[in-house]
Structure 1
């Protein structure tokens, strides 16, 4: 809860800005690493969730790998100290330039998402005189039961090689002299809180691993992606996801031998709760049907509510439990009707100049900020 201590800390800061609690970040990373290490699991941090330099520095210092979805993310990982042999590169549309960047650094593996991509990586690796490690991303057709914009594992999604093309993919891999198949890659979606989804994924992974091994192809790496959700409704009660329960599902239901490695690509679960967007009330306005709280932060600073209709808990900083409450639509200054953080949000009656915090914004917040309406670049503040 953002009490008067935070009010004093934030009062002199120019808003809007992202506030990062590094103590919570460290505690979250330690919990994830402890649960993974006891099962000999490997974690690659998904940079797309948050690539703030200081956040990355803390994550890298814990010994995590990096999961990248662009050439610039690969380069950024190298620049901040991630070991190249712990970097994976995923994405359905890797450009030649991006592939060459990853080849130059001899990364751990490309997560390949189409047959044509296999052929392109093979050609570019041959030109560079190297052999590229690849994991074949298979679309497992598992429903994550989340928002359709963040579901990635169904046949209708653009991600991964469909089951119908696996025979052809296997043949192409055998024919390519400059790629080395080291593993299989799966990812079914994001913000998953039902552990049964991951159990269903394990069943599919077992089927496809066995399919390859029955045909004489040994699979060293089983990469099951990420997707573990966080509690947006109750960030104070559940600041750290239940990593024990998450990893236990895979430990129990994933079939593998002692030589096979299990890899994860976690983003949101590691950084979401440590970040909040702090804003200031510019105006209050009462209409015929609703009361508006107009902030100096908008969809340019936090896109998720406009893009996904995502829920974020909204609080007035330093509010007193005795304060009278009122329902507001909390909106930003951007010239778009979709620039709204929440409707019917019950808050203490607020006035111009009050500070408001939007919680659980450490993932897909700062990284999705834009300069639309020629907005200023977002600032950030850290506490340890």
Structure 2
């Protein structure tokens, strides 16, 4: 299913803005539900990918849980209507007020990343007369073969409990009366396109689970996180990721015990392809080796290219002339304010409408007001 641009309607809106193809989002949600449903897998949506109210409401209506990494994400998920029993709260640095918020709302689980965090959750739960359900986020030391900023499962990363510390964690759990071990949690990184990384994760999870069983501990939930990548180069050919192959890997290689549940935390693969950042050309400027297409969107509207040197396909929606090469840059006073170098575009001029594709994840949510710019608005295919 391809992304559609109602160009005449979009021309009426002041740029820059985010545009969401809600039909594509719903088709993606249906694909996830169908493929995960084949195995009884449960999916939580990673709110950090996009917390736009319309997007969250649509995902909630599809029956997903919510994976949160801040207290405000927990609050937003609950305000949007997600069932507290489907809310899981991860994060290496949870503040006391954030933990208390989760306890007060009886969320499903805290994904815990250290012994000190376990101790604080226990202390706060005791004060409230509650039992906090926790999952241990264990570092499986699996290389996700992705950008070093978004790999999270190596021993050198700040995330998770390292395996050599598990005996100490078990000893601590035995003394903490206001936490209850619900499961094991893993997450190896983001934008993973090599499914063999997920097979390696499964094999490592099997080893770790065998150790827990040898300690007479059988977790109810195995949470394998998310991380499935998307096709940034060909967004229309890969508009819906290959969820069939993704979930099949876990069905084939995870060695589950009776009654165990498998949970996922998908973000980018759910929403990335349904969003585009729309911007207009302000000026075309001649450079030494290329032309500059200076647009009215900047790194404040879409941070990924400046932060990760991330690639997004860029399209001129109104020109059909012969192609030329352009550096597509924004107006912000930073040399890193660049969306793409030497991009082949139809001959481009002032006022042309430009689409920066695959920005439904980590686009609008990371927008900021650097240079005191306004935050971009959002429009939706079922409303324009």
TM-score by length of 1: 0.98
The secondary structure found in structure 2 opposite 1:97 is helix
| Alignment pair present for 1:367 and 2:365 | yes
Cα distance in 2 for residues equivalent to 1:258 and 1:324: 61
Cα deviation for residue 37 of structure 1 reads 0.9
Q: How many residues align?
A: 381
| Alignment pair present for 1:25 and 2:25 | yes
Cα distance in 2 for residues equivalent to 1:140 and 1:244: 24
Partner of 1:380: 378
Cα deviation for residue 119 of structure 1 reads 0.4
| Alignment pair present for 1:315 and 2:315 | yes
Cα deviation for residue 9 of structure 1 reads 1.6
Confirm or deny: 8 A CA contact 2:3 2:274 kept in the other structure: no
C-alpha offsets along residues 300-352 of structure 1, whole Å, 9 cap, x if unaligned? 000000000000000001332xx211101000000000000000100011111
Partner of 1:175: 175
**1:137-152 alignment, distance < 5 Å:** 137-152=137-152
Partner of 1:88: 88
**1:342-353 alignment, distance < 5 Å:** 342-353=340-351
Cα distance in 2 for residues equivalent to 1:314 and 1:54: 25
Confirm or deny: 8 A CA contact 2:111 2:136 kept in the other structure: yes
Cα deviation for residue 272 of structure 1 reads 0.2
Partner of 1:282: 282
Cα distance in 1 for residues equivalent to 2:331 and 2:318: 23
Partner of 1:125: 125
Partner of 1:108: 108
Cα deviation for residue 22 of structure 1 reads 0.3
C-alpha offsets along residues 239-283 of structure 1, whole Å, 9 cap, x if unaligned? 000101000000000000230000000000000000000000001
Point out where structure 2 has 5 or more consecutive residues left out of the alignment: none
Partner of 1:166: 166
| Alignment pair present for 1:304 and 2:270 | no
**1:183-198 alignment, distance < 5 Å:** 183-198=183-198
Cα distance in 1 for residues equivalent to 2:322 and 2:6: 21
Confirm or deny: 8 A CA contact 1:2 1:318 kept in the other structure: no
Partner of 1:200: 200
The secondary structure found in structure 2 opposite 1:364 is coil
Partner of 1:324: 322
The secondary structure found in structure 2 opposite 1:149 is coil
Cα deviation for residue 2 of structure 1 reads 7.7
Cα deviation for residue 210 of structure 1 reads 1.1
Cα distance in 2 for residues equivalent to 1:318 and 1:114: 53
Cα distance in 2 for residues equivalent to 1:301 and 1:110: 32
Cα distance in 2 for residues equivalent to 1:289 and 1:230: 32
Cα deviation for residue 289 of structure 1 reads 2.3
Confirm or deny: 8 A CA contact 2:144 2:151 kept in the other structure: yes
Q: Would the alpha carbon gap of residues 333 and 2 (structure 1) be closer, same or farther in structure 2, given more than 3 Å must change?
A: farther
Cα distance in 1 for residues equivalent to 2:255 and 2:289: 57
Confirm or deny: 8 A CA contact 1:274 1:362 kept in the other structure: yes
Cα distance in 1 for residues equivalent to 2:3 and 2:216: 57
Q: Would the alpha carbon gap of residues 2 and 54 (structure 1) be closer, same or farther in structure 2, given more than 3 Å must change?
A: closer
Partner of 1:58: 58
Partner of 1:99: 99
Partner of 2:355: 357
The secondary structure found in structure 2 opposite 1:209 is helix
What CA RMSD, in Å, does the superposition of the two structures yield over aligned residues? 1.0
Point out where structure 1 has 5 or more consecutive residues left out of the alignment: none
Cα distance in 2 for residues equivalent to 1:175 and 1:311: 49
**1:240-251 alignment, distance < 5 Å:** 240-251=240-251
**Is the deviation greater in 128-137 or in 7-16?**
7-16
C-alpha offsets along residues 101-140 of structure 1, whole Å, 9 cap, x if unaligned? 0000001000000110000000000011100000000000
